Amino acid sequence: MKTDITTATETRMAVTPADLLLKAVESGADLDRMEQLMALQERWEANQAKKAFVEAMVEFKSKPIIIGKNKHVSFTTSKGRTEYDHAELVDVTEAIVPRLAEHGLSHDWSVSQEGTKITVTCTITHRLGHSKSVSMTAPADDSGGKNSIQAIASAKTYLERYTLLAVTGTATGGEDDDGRGYEDPPQDPAPTQGADADRRFHSREAKDERAQQKIERHLKAAAKNAESITYIKERLAAGDGIAAAKEWQALDEWDRVALSLTAEKGGTAFTDEQGRQISAAKAQLAEQIKAEADREAERVAKENLS
């Protein structure tokens, strides 16, 4: 008897607005009732799509993605010679896109131009229709003697690379993303001679400058979000990871990146242990959001059965 009751309950919970709409058609319901049920079905489908998107992104982020910096750049300006390595767009897409597809996710870019400003928007869409977008804007890249078309194409490629990284919450080697450490700052160059020494010196000089810029961004973000940082620390200390994660997620996306600088690399906002606690709390929050969405869908179905 207990088994029969459980089965009946599960059957009732499985009823969807589409089932109610079908019953309304069969019973000859009026137009107003039909429109209400159709609107309910649309909301239910949107809610289901959002749940599926959140779950897919949680699975996508469950395993680290390693993106190497395979492109070496070297150029000379009035300030001297600069050299650095970075990941090309093909490196980023080859690492991320197949992983997205494994979880029913796809991406696309849209591009617009206003004067010399290029805007690229990257959108991640789940197979059920829910999507999330990130947009970035930059001037045409006319460095290195590029013509006007090459300058636009260079900026477009740059923005495509970083919008895809941003919307998926992924970082290339040496970058930081919500808790990952930045690249170690180089030591002072040993005194050497010749062209190779000059190249190494300016390469290290550029890395030193980037490391210092990261620290400066971290300090500015820490000052801007001082109250939130204090609140997050208090919630973590009290064992309330969900509240801490919600406050963290409410911060500006780029502030979160800046605040993730580890203590070892000059960060002062959080200890490494607090960083790990925030990462764990974020995963817990994602699970809670999914569970709440499940309960809401169940509540809607039950209300329409009564």
Domains defined along the chain, listed by start = 2-57 (no CATH), 63-173 (3.30.160), 195-306 (no CATH)
Indicate the pLDDT class of residue 111, thresholds 50, 70 and 90. very high
Q: How far apart are CA 293 and CA 126, in angstroms?
A: 17
Q: Which two tokens stand for residue 263?
A: 């203590």
Q: Write out the chain in H/E/C secondary structure.
A: CHHHHHHHHHHHHCCCHHHHHHHHHHCCCCHHHHHHHHHHHHHHHHHHHHHHHHHHHHHHCCCCCCCCCCEEEEEEECCEEEEEEECCHHHHHHHHHHHHHHCCEEEEEEEEEECCEEEEEEEEEECCCCEEEEEEEEECCCHHHCCHHHHHHHHHHHHHHHHHHHHHCCCCCCCCCCCCCCCCCCCCCCCCCHHHHHHHHHHHHHHHHHHHHHHHHHHHHHHHCHHHHHHHHHHHHCCCHHHHHHHHHHCCHHHHHHHCCCHHHCCCCCCHHHHHHHHHHHHHHHHHHHHHHHHHHHHHHHHCCC
Query: Which of the pair, 207 or 7, is modelled with greater confidence?
Result: 207
Residue 192 has pLDDT above 80, yes or no: no
Single out the residue of 16, 19, 22 nearest to residue 48, CA to CA: 16
Task: Look up the pTM and report it.
Answer: 0.48
pLDDT of residue 122: 94
Query: Which of the pair, 49 or 291, is modelled with greater confidence?
Result: 49
Residue 194 has pLDDT above 50, yes or no: no
Q: Between the ranges 2-6, 79-83, 191-195, where is the mean pLDDT highest?
A: 79-83
- Least reliable range by pLDDT among 31-40, 46-55, 232-241: 31-40
Q: Which two tokens stand for residue 139?
A: 């001037």
Q: How far apart are CA 149 and CA 125, in angstroms?
A: 30
Query: Which of the pair, 116 or 109, is modelled with greater confidence?
Result: 109
pLDDT of residue 1: 41
Query: Which of the pair, 87 or 125, is modelled with greater confidence?
Result: 125
Q: How far apart are CA 13 and CA 304, in angstroms?
A: 11
- Least reliable range by pLDDT among 18-27, 34-43, 156-165, 277-286: 18-27
pLDDT of residue 123: 95
pLDDT of residue 270: 87
pLDDT of residue 224: 83
Phi, psi of 253 (to 5 degrees): -55, -45
* Span 102-122, average pLDDT: 92
User: For residue range 40-49, what is the model confidence (pLDDT) as tens digits?
Assistant: 778 878 888 8
Q: How far apart are CA 16 and CA 172, in angstroms?
A: 43
pLDDT of residue 262: 76
Q: Are 259 and 269 in contact (CB under 8 A)?
A: yes
Indicate the pLDDT class of residue 130, thresholds 50, 70 and 90. very high
CA atoms within 13 A on the CB side of 30: 1
Indicate the pLDDT class of residue 85, thresholds 50, 70 and 90. low
User: For residue range 140-163, what is the model confidence (pLDDT) as tens digits?
Assistant: 887 767 788 888 888 898 899 889
* % the chain with pLDDT above 70: 69
- Least reliable range by pLDDT among 26-30, 41-45, 188-192: 188-192
- Least reliable range by pLDDT among 6-20, 92-106, 243-257: 6-20
Average pLDDT of the chain? 75
The DSSP bridge pattern shows strands 71-77 and 80-86 to be antiparallel
Q: Are 21 and 246 in contact (CB under 8 A)?
A: no
pLDDT of residue 2: 42
User: For residue range 227-283, what is the model confidence (pLDDT) as tens digits?
Assistant: 888 899 999 999 998 888 888 888 887 788 888 877 777 777 888 888 888 888 888
Query: Which of the pair, 136 or 209, is modelled with greater confidence?
Result: 136
Residue 294 has pLDDT above 70, yes or no: yes
